[in-house]
Amino acid sequence: MRLLSAALILVAAAAPARAEDAADYIADAKLFYRVVACGGTEALPATVHVATVDKHCAEMAKRYASFIEKYITPAQAFFATVRPANAPTTVVYPFGGGDLAGALVTYPGAREVTTISLEHAGDPTRLATLNKSQLRNALAAYRAASAGLLSLNDSTSENMRKLERGGIPGQLSFHMTGMTAHGYEPVSLKFFTLNDDGTVDYLTKTEVDALAPKKAKKKKGGWVDTDFSEAFTHMELSFRKAGDPKAPVIVHRHFAWNLANTGFTGSSLEKHLVAKGKISAMTKAASYLLWNGGFSGIRDYLLTNMMWMASDSTGIPNRFAKKAGFTQITYGTFTSAFLEEADPTTSEAMAKLWTSQPRRKLGFRYGYPDFEKHLHLMITQPAEPKK
C-alpha cells in the first residue's frame, strides 16, 4: 500500500497542471479592467489614486465612443452580411498582437479566440504596486501606445514593443481594452506553457514563483527583451458580457511566438492549432509575412484548416488560395502594398485581383490601407464546385 501511495504521489507530481490547479490572476485582471480599460464602476482600492484614474477614464470614454461609432458598429454590420452562418466559433488570428477587439468585430459569436504575435502577455501584478506618479506615467504611456488601436483599429509593432516593459504591459492591456470596448468583463486570467504534444499546461502559483528570476526574452532579433518573468509569456483571458453571470464564457489565448518556419513548423504551437480542427481565420496589418516563403508553415496551416478568412491585402496571396480550393472576394481599392519592403510581384498580383472584380464599397479601415491610402478588405472562402 505504501509503495502504491508513493507511486501515485510521483505520478501526480509529474502530471501537467490542470485548469483548476492554475494560478488565477482574476483580482489583477479586474484591477486592469477598472483602472486601465475603464470597465465597470467598482470602487477603487485605497492604494490607487482616484483622480488619476478618473482623468484617464474620461479620455478613454471619448476614445471608446469614437471606436464604436467608426469601427465596431459599421464593421459588425458589414461582416453580418458576408460571414457564413456556419463559420466555426473557434478563431485563429496570426500576427494578431493586441487585437482581440478586431477578432470580436469579425466574429462576434466566437467562443474561443487565439491571437499570436512576438509580444509577451505581460505581468499583471505590477499595476497594484504603482504609486501616484508611476501610475500617471504608466497610464500616459499606455494611452500613447494604444492610440492606434482605438483610432486606426490596429497597433504598430513599435507601439507594442514599447509596452514590453513597465507597469502596464501591452498585450494584457490592449486585449483587455478590446474586450471592454465590446462590453465584456473578465472572469479569469491564467498563464500557461505548451507541452510537446501541443496541450496546454497551466502554471501553478509555485511554478510562477519559481520562474520569477527568469526574464522573458525577445522572440525575434530587433524586438526587445521584457523586464518581467518568463511565466507571463502566454496568457488565457476568459470573459463574458458584463453584468450577466449566465452569459457564455469566451476563452482568449494569446501566444508570444515567432511564426517564421524555423519557429513554427513542427512546433508545439502548430500541434496545438491543428488539434482545434476547422477554424475561422483572420489577419490584418501583418507586414505581408504571409506573402513570404519563410512563413509558408503558418500559411499552409491556414489553408488546410480554415473554413473562412477575413483579411486586408496582407492575407494569403491568390496563387496559394486558388490552388488550395479557395476563391477571394475584394472590397475597397488596392493599388500597391502599403510597405515598401513587400514583394513587388505579389503586390502587382494583388492589384490585379482587385481590378478584376467590381469595386465594392468599404466603410471602415481593416488593417493597412494601400500605398495610396485606400481602404480595402479581402474575404477568402471555399470556391464553388465546378458544374
pLDDT for 173? 92
Name the range with the highest mean pLDDT among 109-113, 125-129, 214-218.
Answer: 109-113
Q: Dig out the grid coordinates for 158 from the structure.
A: 513599435
pLDDT for 145? 84
Q: Do the Cβ atoms of 376 and 333 come closer than 8 Å?
A: yes
Return mean pLDDT, the chain: 90
pLDDT tops 60 at residue 51: yes
pLDDT for 15? 46
Q: Would you kindly state where each structural domain of the chain is located, as residue ranges?
A: 19-257
Q: What percent of the chain has pLDDT over 90?
A: 81
pLDDT for 154? 55
pLDDT range class, residue 163, cuts 50, 70, 90? low
| Secondary structure class of 184 (helix, strand, coil) | strand
pLDDT for 279? 98
Q: Give the mean pLDDT of 379-387.
A: 86
pLDDT for 5? 41
Q: Name which residue leads in pLDDT, 299 or 141.
A: 299
Q: Give the mean pLDDT of 312-316.
A: 98
322 class by beta-carbon count within 10 Å (0-12 exposed, 13-18 middle, 19+ buried): middle
pLDDT range class, residue 30, cuts 50, 70, 90? very high
pLDDT range class, residue 259, cuts 50, 70, 90? very high
**Which helix (H) or strand (E) element contains residue 6?**
helix 2-14
pLDDT range class, residue 169, cuts 50, 70, 90? confident
Rounded Cα distance between 68 and 56, Å, is 18
- Count the neighbouring beta carbons within 10 Å of the beta carbon of residue 158: 9
Q: What percent of the chain has pLDDT over 70?
A: 89
Alpha-carbon distances, residue 144 vs 39, 139, 338 (angstroms): 19, 9, 23
pLDDT in tens, 260-292: 999 999 999 999 999 999 999 999 999 999 999
Q: Name which residue leads in pLDDT, 132 or 156.
A: 132
pLDDT in tens, 57-83: 999 999 999 999 999 999 999 999 999
User: Widest CA span of the chain, in angstroms?
Assistant: 76
pLDDT tops 50 at residue 86: yes
Q: Dig out the grid coordinates for 138 from the structure.
A: 504608466
pLDDT range class, residue 361, cuts 50, 70, 90? very high
In terms of DSSP bridges, do strands 376-382 and 326-332 run parallel, antiparallel, or are they unpaired? antiparallel
Q: Do the Cβ atoms of 121 and 232 come closer than 8 Å?
A: yes
pLDDT tops 80 at residue 150: no
Q: Give the mean pLDDT of 109-116.
A: 98
pLDDT range class, residue 146, cuts 50, 70, 90? confident
Contacts of 135 (CB under 8 A, 6+ apart): 35, 48, 49, 52, 53, 127, 167
Alpha-carbon distances, residue 285 vs 181, 269, 310, 345, 376 (angstroms): 20, 22, 12, 19, 12
